[in-house]
A = this chain, B = another copy of it.
Amino acid sequence: MGIVRKTKSVKKVIDTFENANQALSVVELVKKYDGEMNKTTVYRILERLEEEGVLHSFTGKDGLKWFAKQEDASKVQSTHPHFQCQECGKSECLSVDVEIPSVPNYSIQKANLILVGACSDCQS
């Protein structure tokens, strides 16, 4: 169903994403809220926020689940890639558009595009 009630925990999570200009992994969030919010609650809030269209998710290079805010309704179905830094581990949405190739006999519905490298803070 999605979010029906704006609980304290829900507000906290929304607030965290408002103030973070980057994607956050579930693992990271569970740690962040340790003591104030149950692990299961974090998972469920993220799930609902995604259904609501407030957040979107992707699978990181190491198989972990990440979430980031859904900036704009118009961008919802667009296939923007996510960048993940090998040095510091941070991840963020890239606003560039990646051309999804069309492949004969295949219908492509969505994409999980992870670009891996070094972010601006971690250049050597």
* Chain A residues close to B by CB (< 8 Å): 59-65, 81, 83, 86, 94, 96-101, 103, 105-120, 123
Contacts and interface: CB of A to CB of B under 8 A. Distances in A.
Contacts of A86: 109
Contacts of A64: 63
A83 B113 CA distance: 12
5 shortest interchain CB distances as A-B pairs: A63-B63, A105-B120, A108-B117, A96-B101, A112-B114
Given A59-B63, A98-B98, A113 B116 contact: no
A111 B101 CA distance: 15
Is chain A's interface secondary structure helix, strand, loop, or mixed overall?
loop
A94 B101 contact: yes
Contacts of A97: 101
A109 B119 CA distance: 11
A94 B103 contact: yes
Contacts of A94: 101, 103
Given A59-B61, A65-B63, A115 B111 contact: yes
